[in-house]
């Protein structure tokens, strides 16, 4: 076996601690030595309070107990995202973590649904998604496992306090012997020939030498951008939002098992129900609204009392042209930023870690591994980017400048082709790699008002009355089963109720930003 | 106002034609779609053979075609893979078997554990851990085990080409497909649009959509204004094909045998009553008469009857769906005959045409989706075939030296590079061969992984050794439970798997 790899992680936010947790749990102890450098003086952004179902795999694979994690992070369950006013004023749809139709239905299901519209039925595709119906009823239960019943057709994620999640991972990691070093980086030593990073020099003068560096320094991208001068691919012409104004409010009455994102004049507003409070925020484009107007629009729209004053974050949509250079890989915000509309921030950290685990060098620099990692991440970023652009582009609102701009903008060819195919015949192409499967695309297309002009001719091979009967039965089956599910709030309280703590203390972490 | 496609004219011959019309009828017949078949007449000789990957069995099930009928009518022989000899001077032959991918989830691919063991000195090749190869060594046919089995393999077929084409034609007739009574005499074309096809008896067939299943001739799509065919001869250098026959093998093997020689390769494809002999070669390196003599010498069989020689030109059509014309089979992608993928090309075209069957007549965006899928399918398949040639180790032979010096296509370079670096095979969309197939090919080509996924080391050393040995035992034990080819053919119906020891 080769000698252990000396790994240094810079930054202790969500990305840093997730990387430390996964690498310490999944790489054999004899393979690596790992240290994490962070400074208590630097706040963390704590990206994404809403997650995707993949995070459950992540937690399971490193041995995290779900209920324990949920209690520690004030978590609730998430079955999808509720979009309001997207596409057109008055729209309302859920992008569910699940398929439409029965477990056996497959990709042809929505074609039968589209066919039923021509046959005079007037029903929403969401009535055929178990996750959508359960979410709308504010109910939650674990999906059935090892069955082919309709209550096996979904998965779930969490809403949690990302800062608390990072802290939770920190405890998990420190218990596994990973050393945390307090300090700020003053200098970075590089090999004069190869450019490889040799060591981080802290303000205290301490020198942290290593063979492999993971840059989790956030927007500053201290190593990847700061040391390797890695360029930035700007996507703001497609994703014009560049500000986020988060503000916590009191816990809402109904604990919804979904995130809500509401389209606003110059962007959108999120609403994330946690056990102890509600996370809110306005993501907007400074090209289309000024800060004061945005603040007023946000405060006007909130129902519950504020727990703190709104803050401001600046960003730009895009990514570093590559995430890995020489002996340094960037994870999370140091490698790119995509707005949290589809809760992809933590996913992007996770998938980068998964690719890294497979490709981490074991004997010195190997450019083949670097190229492969960068290729894979290109695909991840681009597919998510296209899906996000779809939300903006597919709109007929015309009421404000942002929405007019987005409806008229030129979108990437890859996306234009996908939209064209769906518009014509409702076909959603599947890809082997990358996030968002056909049900996700379907939800957004239909939810934002794009009903296919035609359905696939294949649908006509089944007799119409039988197809309609199947649709009726699935809808009823879902309704009946959802009626028997517990309410989300009581399920959370029973399964993973967090101890009651003083509210001021709880959102301190967020204020540190 | 747009309207549905109500009629399709399929112009072609042999399996591409008959399989297409039967599949279209099966998927869309009930919707009232009218299907016209225009038969250009068979180009098959008595010497020809169809080699099919395991996916053909799935298609047969879908179309309701009985396996026993196919084997009987086409003197068919099931086979679990192909054995390649003489692709490297001095190296032993390697087997490329049809192992199934394990169910998702679970531990890292076995390949990773093998790569580590090999780096630590294990002398047992990857092939010994393949159930398909295990069956091939015993001349056995791998029956399905169960859905969640980690070890399972599938079989393809070698079929008498004329008989199989005829079987499908009869099926088309029985299913009521209209077959034109007169030969084709002309195709009406304006720009990229087919206006109609004319038959010798003066009838004119007009349809909403035309399918070109005419093979390399590309009788319809080849005449369209924007038609463009891209050659792959840089990586697939054979331009001549010879088909012949030899006597039946005394005991039927469960694999085809493909041997390289200075000008190309010769394959033996056992059938129930004869052995089909196919040679592909470069006219720059070997003459037809020379190959006819050499084929028997190389394969140690007695060639009987006449050998039939034809041209080969591997490559692909840039847009296999152009205007109102969809190319299927060799009209879209002309592969090298190696690896037995000709049928697979036809099947992929049919499967994409069915799932992207245009919602309306006239210009529709399904065309570009079809083109993207078929292009991706084609280049992955080409890369697989090209690996045989590019990674050859027959030094000092002009044709082999030349192709070895060619730069590999980017997809193949990436796969070979990652396999060498870490025993990883980055898979793309629309792959014919999955990870295990690629791994068998690349190890067979002499590419040895220099590293592996570091997570493999989580397993302690003894447990790792035990796991590797256990797999070896499991493969041997399972292969022994599979019926021999002769036994499988003689059985009246689908055979059950024998109980384990």
Mean pLDDT by 10 residues, chain A (513 residues): 86 95 94 93 70 96 97 97 97 97 84 97 97 98 92 96 94 93 97 97 97 96 96 97 95 89 97 93 97 97 92 95 97 95 95 97 93 97 97 96 98 96 95 93 98 96 95 97 97 90 43 35
Nearest to A327 by CA among A187, A192, A197, A191: A197
**A118 in reach of chain B (CB within 8 A):** no
B300: domain CATH number is: 3.30.70
> Do the domain assignments include residue B491?
no
Distance between CA B77 and CA B89 in Å, rounded? 30
The Cα of B105 is separated from the nearest Cα of chain A by a number of Å equal to 11
User: A46 with A14: CB under 8 angstroms?
Assistant: yes
Residues 6+ apart with CB under 8 A from B289: none
Of A372, A424, A455, which has the smallest distance from its Cβ to B364's Cβ? A424
The Cα of B141 is separated from the nearest Cα of chain A by a number of Å equal to 31
* Phi, psi torsion values for A85, nearest 5 degrees: 65, 15
> Do the domain assignments include residue B386?
no
Query: B229 and B318 share a domain?
Result: yes
What domains, with CATH codes, occur in chain A?
A: 5-49+161-234+317-382 (3.50.50.60), 84-158+386-478 (no CATH), 243-314 (no CATH)
Residue the block writes with tokens 């929505």: A110
Query: B177 and B121 share a domain?
Result: no
Distance between CA A202 and CA A188 in Å, rounded? 9
Report how many domains make up chain B.
3
**Residue A481 token pair:** 């089963």
Domain boundary (B282, B311, B340) is at B311
**A358 in reach of chain B (CB within 8 A):** yes
pLDDT of residue B306: 82
Domain boundary (B289, B311, B333) is at B311
pLDDT of residue A508: 40
Of A27, A375, A423, which has the smallest distance from its Cβ to B455's Cβ? A27
- What region does A268 belong to: left with phi over 0, alpha with psi -120 to 50, or beta? beta
User: B435 with B427: CB under 8 angstroms?
Assistant: yes
The Cα of A486 is separated from the nearest Cα of chain B by a number of Å equal to 30
In chain B, helix, strand, coil percent, each to 5? 40, 25, 40
**Residue A119 token pair:** 């046959």
A30 contacts in chain B (CB < 8 Å): 457
pLDDT band at B68 (very low <50, low <70, confident <90, very high): very high
Residues 6+ apart with CB under 8 A from B128: B134, B472, B475
**A458 in reach of chain B (CB within 8 A):** yes
pLDDT of residue A507: 42
Residues 432 to 451 of B: which have CB under 8 A from any A CB?
A: 451
pLDDT of residue A45: 64
Query: B297 and B264 share a domain?
Result: yes
> Do the domain assignments include residue B85?
no
pLDDT band at B96 (very low <50, low <70, confident <90, very high): very high
> Do the domain assignments include residue B498?
no
pLDDT of residue B1: 55
The ipTM (two decimal places) reads 0.94
**B429 in reach of chain A (CB within 8 A):** yes
pLDDT of residue B498: 75
Query: B461 and B328 share a domain?
Result: no
Query: B333 and B470 share a domain?
Result: no
Q: Which DSSP string do the residues of B285-307 spell out, in sequence order?
A: T--HHHHHHHHHHHHT---EEEE
> Do the domain assignments include residue B84?
no
> Do the domain assignments include residue B82?
no
- What region does B28 belong to: left with phi over 0, alpha with psi -120 to 50, or beta? alpha
Query: B301 and B322 share a domain?
Result: no
Of A372, A458, A460, which has the smallest distance from its Cβ to B426's Cβ? A372
Residue B348, domain extent: 7-76+160-233+314-379
Distance between CA B8 and CA B36 in Å, rounded? 6
Query: B67 and B106 share a domain?
Result: no
How do residues B225-265 score in pLDDT, each as one tens digit? 999 999 999 999 999 999 999 999 999 999 999 999 999 99
- HSE of A497, CA atoms in CB hemisphere, 13 A: 7
Q: Which helix (H) or strand (E) holds B468?
A: helix B461-480
Distance between CA B82 and CA B96 in Å, rounded? 5
pLDDT of residue A48: 55
How do residues B444-462 score in pLDDT, each as one tens digit? 999 999 999 999 999 999 9
How do residues B104-125 score in pLDDT, each as one tens digit? 877 899 999 999 999 999 999 9
Of A27, A453, A456, which has the smallest distance from its Cβ to B454's Cβ? A27
Query: B71 and B187 share a domain?
Result: yes
pLDDT of B153 > 60? The answer is yes
Query: B330 and B267 share a domain?
Result: no
**A425 in reach of chain B (CB within 8 A):** yes
Q: Which of A2, A355, A359, A368 to mutate to test the interface with B (most CBs of B within 10 A)?
A: A368
Residue the block writes with tokens 């020489």: A326
Neighbours of B277 (CB within 10 A): 25
Is the pLDDT higher at B89 or at B475? Answer: B475
pLDDT of residue A325: 97
Whole-prediction pTM: 0.96
Query: B15 and B146 share a domain?
Result: no
Neighbours of B237 (CB within 10 A): 25
> Do the domain assignments include residue B91?
no
> Do the domain assignments include residue B271?
yes
pLDDT of B53 > 70? The answer is yes
Q: Which of B454, B456, B458 to mutate to test the interface with A (most CBs of A within 10 A)?
A: B454
Query: B422 and B465 share a domain?
Result: yes
Query: B321 and B470 share a domain?
Result: no
B64: domain CATH number is: 3.50.50.60
Nearest to A509 by CA among A165, A259, A196, A265: A165
């Amino acid at each position: 076996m080769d000698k252990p790899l000396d790994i240094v992680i810079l930054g202790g936010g969500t990305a840093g601690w997730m990387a430390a947790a996964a690498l310490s749990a999944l790489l054999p102890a004899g393979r690596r030595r790992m240290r994490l450098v962070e400074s208590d003086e630097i706040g963390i952004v704590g990206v994404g309070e809403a997650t995707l179902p993949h995070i459950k795999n992540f937690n399971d694979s490193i041995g995290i107990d779900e209920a324990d994690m949920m209690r520690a992070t004030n978590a609730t369950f998430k079955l999808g995202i509720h979009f309001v006013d997207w596409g057109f004023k008055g729209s309302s749809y859920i992008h569910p973590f699940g398929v439409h139709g029965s477990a056996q239905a497959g990709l042809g299901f929505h074609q039968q649904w589209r066919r039923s519209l021509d046959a005079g039925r007037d029903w929403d595709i969401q009535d055929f998604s178990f996750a959508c119906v359960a979410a709308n009823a504010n109910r939650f239960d674990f999906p059935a496992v090892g069955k082919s019943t309709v209550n096996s057709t979904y998965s779930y994620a969490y809403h949690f306090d990302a800062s608390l999640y990072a802290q939770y991972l920190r405890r998990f990691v420190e218990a596994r012997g990973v050393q945390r070093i307090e300090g700020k980086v003053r200098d970075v030593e590089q090999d004069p020939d190869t450019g490889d990073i040799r060591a981080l020099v802290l303000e205290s003068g301490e020198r942290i030498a290593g063979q492999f560096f993971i840059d989790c320094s956030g927007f500053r991208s201290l190593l990847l951008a700061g040391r390797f001068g890695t360029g930035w691919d700007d996507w703001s012409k497609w994703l014009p939002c560049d500000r986020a104004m988060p503000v916590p409010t009191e816990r809402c009455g109904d604990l919804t098992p979904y995130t809500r994102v509401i389209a606003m004049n110059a962007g959108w507003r999120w609403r994330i129900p946690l056990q102890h409070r509600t996370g809110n925020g306005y993501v907007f484009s400074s090209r289309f609204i000024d800060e004061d107007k945005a603040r007023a629009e946000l405060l006007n729209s909130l129902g519950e009392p504020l727990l703190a004053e709104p803050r401001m974050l600046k960003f730009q949509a895009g990514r570093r042209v590559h995430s890995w250079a020489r002996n340094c890989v960037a994870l999370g915000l140091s490698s790119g930023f995509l707005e949290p509309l589809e809760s992809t921030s933590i996913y992007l950290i996770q998938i980068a870690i998964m690719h890294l685990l497979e490709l981490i060098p074991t004997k010195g620099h190997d450019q083949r591994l670097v190229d492969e990692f960068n290729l894979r991440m290109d695909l991840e970023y681009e597919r998510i980017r296209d899906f996000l652009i779809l939300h903006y582009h597919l709109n007929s609102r015309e009421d404000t400048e942002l929405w007019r701009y987005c409806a008229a903008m030129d979108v990437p060819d890859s996306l234009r082709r996908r939209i064209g195919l769906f518009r014509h015949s409702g076909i959603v192409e599947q890809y082997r790699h990358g996030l968002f499967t056909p049900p996700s695309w379907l939800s957004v297309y239909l939810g934002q008002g794009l009903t296919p002009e035609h359905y696939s001719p294949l649908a006509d091979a089944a007799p119409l009355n039988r197809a309609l009967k199947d649709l009726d039965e699935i809808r009823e089956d879902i309704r009946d089963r959802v009626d028997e599910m517990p309410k989300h709030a009581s399920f959370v309280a029973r399964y993973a109720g967090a101890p009651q703590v003083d509210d001021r203390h709880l959102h301190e972490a967020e204020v540190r930003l | 106002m747009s309207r549905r496609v109500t009629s399709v004219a399929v112009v072609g011959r042999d399996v591409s034609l008959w399989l297409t019309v039967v599949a279209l009828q099966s998927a869309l017949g009930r919707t009232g779609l009218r299907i016209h078949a225009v038969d250009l007449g068979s180009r098959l000789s008595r010497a020809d053979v169809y080699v099919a990957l395991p996916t053909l069995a799935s298609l047969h099930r879908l179309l309701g075609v009985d396996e026993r009928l196919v084997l009987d009518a086409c003197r068919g022989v099931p086979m679990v893979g192909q054995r390649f000899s003489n692709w490297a001077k001095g190296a032993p032959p390697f087997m490329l078997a049809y192992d199934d991918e394990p169910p998702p989830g679970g531990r890292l691919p076995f390949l990773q554990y093998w790569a580590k063991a090999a780096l630590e000195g294990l002398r047992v090749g990857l092939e010994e851990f393949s159930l398909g190869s295990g069956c091939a060594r015993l001349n056995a046919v791998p029956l399905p085990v169960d859905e969640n089995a980690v070890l399972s393999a599938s079989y393809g077929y070698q079929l008498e080409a004329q008989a199989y084409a005829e079987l499908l034609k009869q099926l088309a007739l029985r299913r009521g497909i209209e077959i034109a009574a007169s030969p084709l005499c002309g195709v009406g074309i304006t720009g990229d649009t087919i206006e109609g096809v004319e038959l010798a008896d003066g009838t004119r067939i007009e349809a909403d959509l035309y399918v070109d299943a005419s093979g390399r001739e590309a009788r319809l799509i080849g005449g369209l204004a924007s038609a463009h065919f891209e050659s792959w001869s840089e990586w697939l250098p054979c331009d001549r094909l010879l088909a012949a026959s030899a006597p039946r093998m005394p005991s039927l093997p469960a694999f085809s045998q493909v041997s390289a020689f200075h000008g190309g390769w010769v394959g033996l494809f056992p059938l129930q009553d004869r052995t089909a002999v196919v040679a592909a070669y470069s006219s720059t390196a070997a003459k037809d008469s020379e190959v006819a003599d050499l084929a028997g010498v190389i394969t140690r069989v007695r060639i009987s009857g006449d050998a039939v020689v034809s041209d080969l030109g591997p490559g692909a059509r840039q847009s296999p769906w152009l205007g109102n014309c969809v190319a299927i089979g060799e009209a879209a992608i002309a592969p090298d005959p190696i690896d037995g993928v000709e049928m697979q090309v036809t099947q992929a075209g049919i499967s994409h045409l069915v799932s992207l069957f245009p919602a309306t007549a006239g210009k529709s965006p399904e065309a570009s989706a079809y083109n993207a899928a078929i292009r991706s399918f084609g280049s992955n398949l080409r890369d697989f075939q090209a690996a045989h040639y590019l990674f050859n180790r027959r030094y000092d032979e002009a044709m082999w030296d030349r192709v070895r010096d060619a730069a590999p296509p980017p997809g193949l370079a990436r796969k070979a590079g990652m396999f060498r670096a870490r025993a990883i095979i980055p898979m793309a969309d629309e792959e014919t061969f999955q990870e295990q197939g690629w791994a068998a090919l690349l190890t067979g080509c002499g590419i040895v992984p220099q590293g592996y996924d570091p997570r493999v080391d989580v397993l302690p050393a003894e447990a790792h050794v035990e796991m590797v040995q256990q797999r070896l035992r499991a493969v041997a034990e399972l292969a022994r439970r599979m019926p021999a080819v002769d036994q499988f053919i003689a059985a009246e119906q689908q055979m059950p798997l024998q109980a384990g020891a």
